[in-house]
Chain A
Amino acid sequence: MGFFLETLIGGLMAGMLYSLVALGFVLIFKASGVFNFAQGAMVLFAALAMARFAEWIPAWLGLQGSYLGTAAAFVIAGAVMFVVAWLVERLVLRHLVNQEGATLLMATLGIAYVLEGVGASVFGDDIYRINVGMPKEPVFLFEGIFPGGLLINKEDFIAALIAAVLVGLLTLFFQKTTTGRALRAVADDHQAAQSIGIPLNRIWVIVWCVAGLVALVAGVIWGSKLGVQFSLSTVALRALPVVILGGLTSIPGAIIGGLIIGVGEKLSEVYLGPMIGGGIEIWFAYQLALVFLLFRPQGLFGEKIIDRV
Chain B
Amino acid sequence: MLYRENGQFKTSYAADQQIFPIAQDRWAIIGILVFAFVAVPLLVDEYLFRAILIPFLILSLAALGVNILVGYCGQITLGAGAFMAIGAYAAYNFHIRIEGMPLLVSLLLGGFTTAVVGIFFGIPSLRVRGLYLAVATLAAQFFTDWVFLRIPWFTDNSSSGSVSVSNLHVMGWQINNPVSKYLFCLGFLTIFALLAKNMTRSAIGRQWMAIRDMDVAAEVIGIRPLFAKLSAFAVSSFFIGTAGALWGFVHLASWEPAAFSVDRSFQLLFMVIIGGLGSIMGSFFGAAFIVILPIALNQILPVVGDLTGIEISTAGISHAELIIFGGLIVFFLIKEPHGIARLWSTGKEKLRLWPFPH
Contact = CB atoms under 8 A, between A and B. Distances in A.
A309 B124 contact: no
Interface in A124-149: 125
A108 to B, nearest CB: 9
Contact of A113 (B125, B128, B134, B325): B325
A185 B308 CA distance: 50
Given A283-B139, A283-B146, A309-B127, A114 B330 contact: yes
Contacts, number: 142
Contacts of A290: 124, 136, 139
A112 interface: yes
B179 interface: no
A287 interface: yes
Contacts of B127: 293-294, 297, 308-309
Interface string B304-346: 0000000000011001111111111110011001000000000
B326 A277 contact: no
Contacts of B136: 289-290, 293
A120 B321 CA distance: 12
**Which of A35, A102, A116, A297 lies at the interface centre, i.e. has the most chain B CB atoms within 10 A of its CB?**
A102
Q: Main secondary structure on chain B at its contact with chain A?
A: helix
Contacts of B149: 279
A95 interface: yes
A180 to B, nearest CB: 25
Contacts of B333: 96, 99, 103, 106-107, 110
B292 interface: no
Contact of A240 (B138, B270, B273, B324): B138
A309 B326 contact: no
Contact of A293 (B76, B124, B270): B124
A103 B334 CA distance: 9
Contacts of A279: 146, 149-150
Contacts of B146: 279-280, 282-283
A101 B315 CA distance: 34
A107 to B, nearest CB: 5
A110 B329 contact: yes
Interface in A270-309: 277-280, 282-283, 286-287, 289-290, 293-294, 297, 306-309
A125 B129 contact: no
B131 interface: yes
Interface residues of A, number: 48
Interface string A76-118: 0000000000000001100110011111011101111111111
Contact of A244 (B135, B143, B269, B273): B135
A241 interface: yes
Nearest to B219: A309
Contacts of B142: 282-283, 286
A256 to B, nearest CB: 18
Nearest to A91: B330
Interface residues of B, number: 48
Contact of A117 (B124, B125, B225, B320): B320
Contact of B143 (A35, A102, A241, A287): A287
Contact of A116 (B128, B138, B322, B334): B322
Contacts of A248: 131-132
B322 A114 contact: yes
A66 interface: no
Contacts of A309: 125-129, 215, 225
A237 interface: yes
Contacts of A294: 124, 127
A92 to B, nearest CB: 6
A286 B124 CA distance: 13
A120 B131 contact: no
A231 interface: no
Interface in A11-67: 35
Nearest to A302: B132
**Which of A100, A117, A120 lies at the interface centre, i.e. has the most chain B CB atoms within 10 A of its CB?**
A117
A178 interface: no
Contact of A105 (B124, B131, B139): B131
Given A103-B337, A297-B132, A113 B139 contact: no
A195 interface: no
A241 B136 CA distance: 9
Contacts of A282: 142, 145-146
Contact of A289 (B129, B139, B315): B139
A96 B337 contact: yes
A290 B149 CA distance: 22
Contacts of B269: 102, 106
A113 B225 CA distance: 36
A92 B70 contact: no
B130 A307 contact: yes
A65 B39 CA distance: 69
B262 interface: yes
Given A113-B326, A118-B319, 20 more contacts: A35-B134, A96-B333, A103-B333, A106-B273, A107-B330, A109-B266, A110-B326, A112-B326, A113-B325, A114-B326, A116-B326, A125-B319, A282-B146, A283-B143, A289-B135, A290-B139, A293-B127, A293-B135, A297-B128, A306-B132
30 contacts: A92-B330, A92-B334, A96-B334, A101-B131, A102-B76, A102-B273, A105-B131, A106-B270, A106-B333, A107-B329, A107-B333, A110-B325, A110-B326, A110-B329, A115-B326, A117-B322, A120-B322, A121-B316, A237-B138, A278-B150, A282-B142, A283-B142, A286-B138, A289-B136, A290-B124, A293-B127, A293-B132, A306-B128, A308-B127, A308-B128
Interface of A: 35, 91-92, 95-96, 99-103, 105-107, 109-118, 120-121, 125, 237, 240-241, 244, 248, 277-280, 282-283, 286-287, 289-290, 293-294, 297, 306-309
